[in-house]
Amino acid sequence: MKIKPPASARVYLVGGAVRDALLGLPAGDRDYVVVGATAEAMRAAGFAQVGREFPVFLHPQTGEEYALARTERKSGRGHTGFVVHADPAVTLEEDLARRDFTINAIAQAADGTLVDPFGGVRDIQARVLRHVGPAFVEDPLRVLRAARFLARLAPLGFTLAPETLALMRQMAQAGELASLTPERVWQELARALRSPAPGAFLRTLRAAGALAAVLPEVDALYGVPQRADYHPEVDTGVHVELVCDMAARLAPGDDVVGFAALCHDLGKALTPAALLPRHPQHEQRGLAPLRALCARLKVPNEHRELALACCAEHLHVHRLAELRAATVHDLLTRVGGFRRPARIAQLATVCEADARGRTGFAEAAYPQAAQLRRLHAAALAVDSTAIAARGLHGPAFGAALRRARIAAIAQARGEAVDTAPDSAAEQA
C-alpha cells in the first residue's frame, strides 16, 4: 500500500529540488513541506517522526523528508537559539519566509505550479543570491551558507546581492560568528571544498569581514606579497583561492585534497617582513598554524595528515627532477606513501594545483605529478617477500628493502643502479 500524507494536507516540493530543477542541475534530495496537518496525523498515516523538537518526518517507502509547515522565533544567541512553532494554521508563505535565500524559498505544487512569494525565480534568472528577509541576521550560520552557495553557484554566474553582503558584514562586526560550533564551521567548509569554486567561498567571507572569524590562518595570507616572477597574482591570499579552484578542477568533489590545497601555504603569513617577497622555510613555518586550525575545527585525521604532508613537502615535489633517488624514496616514506599508497596521488594532485593555481598558469604542464606517481609505483612494486627469503630480518631487512626501492626508483628514471649492500648487517 502506498503511504500518503493525510488527505486534508497540502504537500509541496521545496528547497534545493525546486531550485536545481530551475537551474537545470541534476536532481538531488527531494524535500516536502506539509501544510494543514498535525504530527499525530502524519504518524497515523505511517510517517516516522525524526526527533522531538522539529516536526520532520520520513516517508517509510522513499525515505524522503516531509516537514510540517512551521515558523521560527529567535530565542537566544547563535544558530541554535530558535523556538519552532508547527501548527496546521501555519501557511506555506509563512514557512517559506523563514528560509535563508530567495532561491531556496520556492515551492512547487503537485501540478507543477510554483509558489514564489519572495521572487526566487526572478533571482535565479538574474543569477543573484539574495536573502529572504530581515530575519536573516538571526542565524550566523547563514553567513557561511551564503559563501558556500557562491562556491557552488559562482560558475553559473551568480553574484551576491549588495544588501545581503551588507547584512553579513553587520553580523560579522557584531561578533555573531563566534557562536558557531567547530562542527558546523567544518561542515560548511568541507561542503565548499567539494564545490566547483571554493575560491568564491573565501572571497565572499573576506568581503563580509567574516574570514578572520572562522579561518584566521587563511585570512592572514591576504596582502602578503610573493615574488611576481613566480606568482603574477602576487597576493598570497589570491594564490590560495586559485589553488583551491584548481584542486576542485583536478579532483572534483574531493574535500581531502581541497583542504590540503587550502592550507599548503599557511606559513607565508609568518614570513619575517625583512625577507618578503621571498618565503624561505615557509613549509616548516606553516605546520604550527595548520595544526592549530585542525585542532580548533576538529578536522578529521585523513584531512589533517594529507594537509601536513603537503605543507611540509610541496616544494620537494616541485623540484622532483633535482632530487636523488634516495631522497625521493625518503620523501615517499615521510608522507606515508608505503603505508597509505593513495596518499601519493593526493600529494601529486595538490602540488599540481599549487603550480597551476597561479595567474597565467592554469593550463601549464606539470610533469612532476605523473613522475611522482610513476616513481612511487616502481618503489611499491619491489617484492619484499624475496628480500625476506634471503634470511634478512629486523634492521637488515629494512635496509635491504630501502635499497631495493631506491634502485627501483633510479631504474624508473633511467639512472645507473647501485646494487652494493648498505651495511655489513645487510651482507650477513
Residue 196, C-beta contacts closer than 8 angstroms, at least 6 positions apart: 151, 152, 154, 155, 245, 248, 249, 252
Residue 414 lies in a domain: yes
Look at residue 320 and tell me whether its pLDDT is greater than 90: yes
Single out the residue in 66, 93, 128 at which a domain terminates: 128
Look at residue 83 and tell me whether its pLDDT is greater than 80: no
Residue 80 lies in a domain: yes
Residue 280 CA, chain-centre distance (Å), reads 28
Residue 54 lies in a domain: yes
- Per the listing, cell 542565524 goes with 139
Q: How far apart are CA 110 and CA 92, in angstroms?
A: 14
- Per the listing, cell 498535525 goes with 38
Q: What's the rounded mean pLDDT across residues 367-387?
A: 94
Q: How far apart are CA 193 and CA 201, in angstroms?
A: 9
Q: What is the pLDDT of residues 27-37, one digit of tens each?
A: 778 999 999 99
Residue 203 lies in a domain: no
Q: What is the pLDDT of residues 174-213, one digit of tens each?
A: 999 999 999 999 999 999 999 999 999 999 999 999 999 9
Q: How far apart are CA 316 and CA 322, in angstroms?
A: 9
Residue 325 lies in a domain: no
Q: How far apart are CA 177 and CA 164, in angstroms?
A: 16
Looking at residue 427, its pLDDT comes to 32
CATH of the domain at 124: 3.30.460.10
Q: How far apart are CA 77 and CA 330, in angstroms?
A: 51
Q: What is the pLDDT of residues 105-152, one digit of tens each?
A: 999 999 999 999 999 999 999 999 999 999 899 999 999 999 999 999
Q: What's the rounded mean pLDDT across residues 401-411?
A: 95
Residue 66 lies in a domain: yes
Single out the residue in 106, 128, 150 at which a domain terminates: 128
Is the pTM above the cut of 0.85?
yes
Q: How far apart are CA 139 and CA 329, in angstroms?
A: 50
237 by Cβ neighbours in 10 Å (0-12 / 13-18 / 19+) ranks as: buried
Q: How far apart are CA 263 and CA 216, in angstroms?
A: 12
Look at residue 428 and tell me whether its pLDDT is greater than 50: no
Of the candidates 351, 352, 332, the residue with the CA atom closest to the CA atom of residue 342: 332
Q: How far apart are CA 30 and CA 18, in angstroms?
A: 8
Mean pLDDT is highest, among 14-28, 39-53, 292-306, 380-394, for 292-306
Residue 299 lies in a domain: no
- Parallel/antiparallel/unpaired status of strands 159-160 and 128-129: parallel
Interhelix angle 367-380/301-318, rounded to 10 degrees, is: 110
Single out the residue in 100, 128, 156 at which a domain terminates: 128
> Which residue type, as a one-letter code, is found at position 322?
E
Is the distance from CB of 91 to CB of 69 less than 8 angstroms?
A: yes
Is the distance from CB of 11 to CB of 32 less than 8 angstroms?
A: yes
Q: How many structural domains compose the chain?
A: 2
Q: If residue 178 lies in a helix (H) or strand (E), which one and from where to where?
A: none
Enclosing domain of residue 415: 381-428
CA distances 229 to 32, 151, 245, 274, 276, Å, are: 54, 29, 21, 19, 14
Looking at residue 426, its pLDDT comes to 37
Question: Above pLDDT 90, what percent of the chain?
Answer: 81
Residue 373 lies in a domain: no
Strand partners, 108: 13, 114
Q: How far apart are CA 392 and CA 395, in angstroms?
A: 8
Q: How far apart are CA 179 and CA 96, in angstroms?
A: 25
* Residues shown for the chain: 428
Is the distance from CB of 211 to CB of 202 less than 8 angstroms?
A: yes
Q: How far apart are CA 115 and CA 124, in angstroms?
A: 14
Of the candidates 238, 250, 268, 253, the residue with the CA atom closest to the CA atom of residue 369: 250
Q: How far apart are CA 421 and CA 414, in angstroms?
A: 20
